[in-house]
Amino acid sequence: MLLIPCPWCGPRDEAEFHYGGQAHIAYPDNPAALSDEEWARYLFFRDNPKGPFAERWSHTAGCRRWFNVVRDTATNEIHAVYRVGEPRPVTA
């Protein structure tokens, strides 16, 4: 089980959180202009790295706020936690 440091509540068990997948996926600026390939990218394709991954979590059993985490998917080590709207921190 992951121990996730919520930016507002501190470290809590993974069971208190809801997962939101890859972070920093913006809704298309001009959806009507997208090709089928671009729609497919937006809807269905997400990064799936074996290594550092910027992802969203929501502390559903706590403060109920969404935030971002950089976690290494090869080790589950959490490198950074930051608030929505902040840029992805540079991690080693």
Partner 1 sequence: MSPETQGRRTPGADLPDHPDRLWRPAEPKRAYDVVIVGGGGHGLATAYYLAKNHGITDVAVLERGWLAGGNMARNTTIIRSNYLWDESAGIYEHALKLWEGLEEDLGYPLLFSQRGVLNLAHSLQDVRDSVRRVNANRLNGVDAEWLTPEQVKEVCPIVDISPDVRYPVLGGTYQPRAGIAKHDYVAWGFAKAASDLGVDMIEHCEVTGLDVRDGRVTGVRTTRGAIAAGKVALAAAGHSSVVAGYAGVSLPVQSHPLQALVSELLEPVHPTVVMSNAVHVYVSQAHKGELVMGAGIDAANSYRQRGAFHIIERQMSAALELFPVFARAHVLRTWGGVVDVTPDASPIVGLTPVENLYVNCGWGTGGFKATPGVGWCYAHTVATGEPHPLNAPFSLDRFTTGKLVDEHGAAAVAH
Query: What is the total residue count of the chain?
Result: 92
3 binds partner 1 (CB under 8 A): no
Instruction: From 24-32, 60-68, 72-80, 83-91, give the range in contact with partner 1 by CB under 8 A.
Output: 72-80
Of the candidates 8, 24, 76, 86, which one interacts with partner 1 according to CB under 8 A? 76
61 binds partner 1 (CB under 8 A): no
59 binds partner 1 (CB under 8 A): no
